[in-house]
Structure 1
Amino acid sequence: MERFQDQIRNSSFTFYIGSTIFCVFALLSFTMLCSLPFYKLVMRSNKKKIISSSQRLSIEGERSTDQLLQSNEYSTEEPFTSTPIRPVNLRTVEPKIRSLGLSVFWVFFVTLAVFPSITGSIISINSNQINPTSTSTFLKNWKHPLIFIPLHFLCFNCGDWLGRIIPQIWSNFSFALIKKKKVLYAMSFSRIIFVPLFLLCNVENSSVVLFRSDFAYFLILSLFAISNGYTSTLLMIAGVAEPSLEPEEIAVAATCMSLYLTSGLAMGSFISFGVKALTTVL
């Protein structure tokens, strides 16, 4: 059995090394792309188009103002003045979506704190009853760690995907939730309950096991995955649908929400080492 556990560790290590190499390659490719003359030319051209478009709108606004002034030359009412295009200030936009941003940060912080560092160490209750050399069918061998652990990845990804499409299926209910920020905050914060729930499952080398059922574990994992996809989707939509945002501030708000999301992923991955260490003392 120890030999197969070593194989699992080696396979997992190889998988994550491959993912890391791919991410580094993607980062280097993006850096090279930004240094290409053609990329700089296209970006410079787009910038000029944006500036010319803004200037055109400003000129049209001034013409409209002149026409209104001429038509109301003898009017005692205050003449119409065009609103100048003002630059969007990040310090003005970020406070408007800060609570929503912290909520989406918390969603992914909790997710990465236990997945896959803890969930990848949870094995079937009946894994000792499986013959590693058996050539029987999948239905008889699915509890073996070589199948059980990859199966949990499939379960999480399917649940996360389902959570992200629920807003399209139950659109009326979902968009009603978007307007209730306190409910969204509660949905985000309540996901912390999954941390002790996973720690009480059959984690490898842990002596404290409360849920002695594979069904209970996969039920917890499914709720964990669905809530991750559903809650994060609602929060991201709510971030750009914030009523206090001006039309020109929406793009900056979306960038801020993405930054909070990325920060949650990074901090969750970092804290996962500490959560993993808890399994050695339980």
Structure 2
Amino acid sequence: MSGFSLSRLRAVLTPSSISDYTPLPQSTRSSSPNPPPPTLPFVVLGMSVLLAWNVLLCLFPHFIALIVLSSPSLALSLPSSLSLLATATNFVSLAWLTFRSSAAGSGPSKDREPNSAIRFGLWTLVALHGALAVGILVVGKEVGEGGAKVVLVGLAAWTVGVMWAGSYLQAGVMELAALFGPKEIGAVQLGQGLVAILVSTVQVISSVVASSAPKDRGPPSSTTTSPAEETFWSTLLFVSIGTIFLFFTIYTHASLARLSQQILLSSPSSPALNASSPTSKQPTTSMEILRRNGIINITIASVFLITLSVFPALTVRVPAKGLEGWWKASGIWVPFGFFIYNGGDFLGRTLPSFLPLLPSQPALLSLALLRIGFIPFFLLTSSVSSTVPDAIFLLGLGILGLSNGFVATNALILSSSPALNPKIEPEEREVASVVAIFILVGGLVGGSAASFGLLALKGL
């Protein structure tokens, strides 16, 4: 059994067969006889795409603990407010990028856009994550009511900045992956799931270490500490690791950018080769792709709308019942819940690499709509009078992540793969990929907004 798994995993991390790529001219092949395998770098790029979002989620416990004593009402609404702000910023940015991608069509600068967007997004994210690390150190572990408002304004500005830069990175990576093929699109999704599970693992370990550290035993007047004491160093560690990883991604992207430009210039559909062709097709508009990919787009939007309506706004409010188990300790329960969800999501994103893709678009849509059942389930478990066992809650959280990763990855691969989706032409791959990401973020915005309604419904 282990040999089978290793062989399948090796197949995931090896480049697509030569038939999946447009042949390079002989001169190019001779000057670069051993081009680097493209799949693994796309895993790294996929990790960087969702890094800022995962760091933002991991900031919630620390900043809630930081302001809960001085501004409990602001602390209560922090996850939903920042999630909505993040997704709305991402949505507006991607709306602009989608329009620009459609307008550019097969213009002469098309071969440079994805890599330029990736570089811009990565360097901006490096600067913003570095600034966040400095800000966490400067603010410290306790703030007053006035300081809490300043912290929230700064955190909101940071959120807008990383989501804006992340939109450029996200669009560029998906355009680049669509250029290579379905396996590379799947690699991006795999990377997005991998960064989430890695961040959650570090968060859980850090929380366990912080909760087990010896506490000061001074006089009664000195025993009162800020709730942010336990989350300060783990949060700073996340941000610092994220910044280092972004530098690594910049290095990884450099060789991939050169290879992608070779493929673009050698492709029969390359703008440089077809600029003078009198029979070349007019650029396809985003609205046309939106219409033709209607079922897939509805599937993508509904998956993330349902997920964001309950996670994390409702799930972080589910208390542990009883104290048996180290994961129920104060400061560990919420990070452990993130770990369970992200573990399921990672597994769901991995399954399409080991199992045949689900090519039926109506079947994918049906699976996406069945997930509506998660809304009443988490409304029930988040109730103060709920008697749902912790194991059932965690199982539901894992299935939420599993279904999110599996259905979304299938749909995103189909959305911009002409070999699997006859509604898309090869020259429309890049535009289709950006439209799909735009729809994905639209689902995130809808889910974040819906979380406010669900919180109001429960009176939380």
Displacement, 1:271?
1.2
List 4+ stretches of structure 1 deviating above 4 A.
6-9, 11-19, 27-31
Find the aligned partners of 1:29 and 1:90 in 2 and give their Cα distance.
22
Correspondence for 1:230 among 381, 391, 406 = 406
- So what's the TM-score if we normalise by structure 1? 0.67
Distance between the aligned counterparts of 2:435 and 2:344, measured in 1?
26
Residues 124 and 145, structure 1, Cα contact 8 Å, conserved in 2: no
Over residues 108-141 of structure 1, what are the superposed CA-to-partner deviations in whole Å (9 max), with x where a residue is unaligned?
A: 0011100011000001121xxx4xxxxxxxx744
How many residue pairs end up in the alignment? 217
Q: CA 1:85/1:182 → structure 2, altered by over 3 Å: closer, same or farther?
A: closer
Task: Work out which of the residue numbers 288, 296, 308 in structure 2 matches 1:92.
Answer: 288
Please give the alpha-carbon distance, in whole angstroms, between the structure 2 residues aligned to 1:227 and 1:22: 30
Paired residues of 1:106 and 1:189 also in contact (CA < 8 A):
yes
Structure 1 position 196 matched with structure 2 position 376 = yes
Query: Letter of the aligned partner of 1:184 in structure 2?
Result: L
- Write the deviation string for residues 160-211 of structure 1: whole angstroms up to 9, x where unpaired: 11111111122x2xx2x1x21121011110111001111121x25x33x252
Q: Evaluate the alpha carbon distance shift between residue 145 and residue 195 of structure 1 in structure 2; reply closer, same or farther with a 3 A threshold.
A: farther
Q: Distance in 1 between matches of 2:303 and 2:432?
A: 18
**Alpha carbons of structure 1 residues 93 and 123: separation in structure 2 relative to 1, 3 Å:** same
Shift of residue 234 of structure 1?
A: 0.5
CA distance in 1, matches of 2:65, 2:362: 44
* 2:427 corresponding residue in structure 1: 248
For 2:440 and 2:339, locate their aligned partners in 1 and report how far apart those are by CA, in whole Å. 22
Deviation at 1:55, TM superposition (A): 5.9
Q: Which residue of 1 aligns with 2:364?
A: 184
Question: Contact (CA 8 Å) 2:374, 2:400: kept in 1 or not?
Answer: yes
Q: CA RMSD in A?
A: 3.2
Change (3 A) 1:55 1:197: closer
Question: Residues 66-116 of structure 1, C-alpha deviation per residue, up to 9 Å, x if partnerless?
Answer: xxxxxxxxxxxxxxxx73342222232221112211111010001110001
Give the counterpart of 2:438 among 246, 255, 259. Answer: 259
Q: How far has the Cα of 1:272 moved from its partner?
A: 0.4
Shift in alpha-carbon separation, 1:244–1:266, aligned structure 2, 3 A: same
* Counterpart AA for 1:162: L
Is the partner of 1:125 in helix, strand or coil?
Answer: coil
* Worse-superposed segment, 15-24 or 234-243: 15-24
2:360 is aligned with 1:163: no
| Contact kept? 2:274, 2:280, Cα under 8 Å | no
**Structure 1: gaps of 5 or more residues:** 1-5, 32-45, 62-81, 131-138
1:24 to 160, 167, 170: 160
Q: Which residue of 1 aligns with 2:336?
A: 151
State the distance in 2 between where 1:199 and 1:30 align. Answer: 31
- Taking the TM superposition and a 5 Å limit, the aligned residue runs for 1:1-282 are 9-11=64-66, 13=75, 17=152, 20-26=156-162, 54=271, 56-57=273-274, 59=276, 83-126=279-322, 130=323, 140-170=325-355, 172=356, 175=357, 177=358, 179-201=359-381, 203=382, 206-207=384-385, 209-211=386-388, 213-241=389-417, 242-280=421-459
* Post-superposition offset of 1:56: 4.1
Amino acid of the structure 2 residue aligned with 1:23: T
SS of alignment partner, residue 424 of structure 2: coil
Aligned counterparts of 1:184 and 1:200: Cα–Cα separation in 2: 27
1:146 match: secondary structure: coil
User: For each residue in 1:42-72, what CA deviation from the matched residue of structure 2 results, as whole angstroms up to 9, or x when unmatched?
Assistant: xxxx9xx98xx6464355x6xxxxxxxxxxx
Which one has the largest radius of gyration? 1
2: CA distance between counterparts of 1:143 and 1:8? 20
Q: What is the alpha-carbon distance in structure 2 between the residues aligned to residue 254 and residue 114 of structure 1?
A: 27
Q: Which residue of 2 aligns with 1:76?
A: none
Contact 1:8 1:146 in 2 (8 A): no
Distance in 1 (alpha carbons) for counterparts of 2:321 and 2:159 = 35
What amino acid is the match of 1:214? D
Q: Which amino acid in structure 2 is aligned with residue 197 of structure 1?
A: F
User: Is the 1:239–1:254 Cα contact (8 Å) retained in structure 2?
Assistant: yes
Deviations 1:14-55 (A, max 9, x none): 886586443234367789xxxxxxxxxxxxxx9xx98xx646
User: How many Å separate the matches in 2 of 1:161 and 1:185?
Assistant: 20
- CA gap of 1:104–1:19, structure 2 versus 1, over 3 A, is farther
Q: Tell me the secondary structure at the aligned position of residue 116 of structure 1.
A: coil
